[in-house]
Amino acid sequence: MIPATVPTEAIFERGHLPDESRPVHAWGDEGEPLVLWRNELRRAQNIEGFKEVRERRQIVSVVPGGGWMTEWQEPGEGTLFADPVVAWVVYSDGEARAIDTDSSGEATLLSPSSSNRRIYHPDQIPDTPLPDKKTSDAATEDE
């Protein structure tokens, strides 16, 4: 058995549920990934739904929000809501994701693919509508 020195994860398909990942704790003598399963190390490929092994990205830093904002609109409502980004999580692969908080202070890591939310800095990006939202008639007349 060879200890896993590079953070790696085994991915398992779970049907209609999101894929599950488990850290690779070691490598077998033949190079197979070993994961903790029901309190014992087992070969990942012998567990139902095994899909792949990939490098597990790590959080390398958390930095202040720096004045960035997040804006969204609840489905079916016309009101826009905005909150400051309280911090950014930076991963080992270079991706940075915003953290927002709700009124009770619970932190939420924002998804980069959210279509009903935008993240912007008031000093750097002109005011633009949310994706898939129509601009006002006044804005289209100026074009």
| Alpha-carbon distances, residue 105 vs 99, 100, 102, 108, 117 (angstroms) | 11, 9, 5, 9, 19
Q: Please report the pLDDT score of residue 67 as a whole number.
A: 93
Average pLDDT, the chain: 84
Q: Please report the pLDDT score of residue 143 as a whole number.
A: 46
Beta strands in 5-65 (DSSP E): 8-14, 17-27, 33-37, 40-43, 50-55, 59-64
pLDDT tens digits, one per residue of 30-63: 999 999 999 999 999 999 999 999 988 888 999 9
Q: Are 42 and 49 in contact (CB under 8 A)?
A: no
Q: Are 86 and 106 in contact (CB under 8 A)?
A: no
Q: Residue 66 and residue 48: Cα distance in Å, rounded?
A: 45
Q: Please report the pLDDT score of residue 125 as a whole number.
A: 57
Over range 90-106, report the average pLDDT.
Answer: 88
pLDDT tens digits, one per residue of 11-21: 999 988 888 99
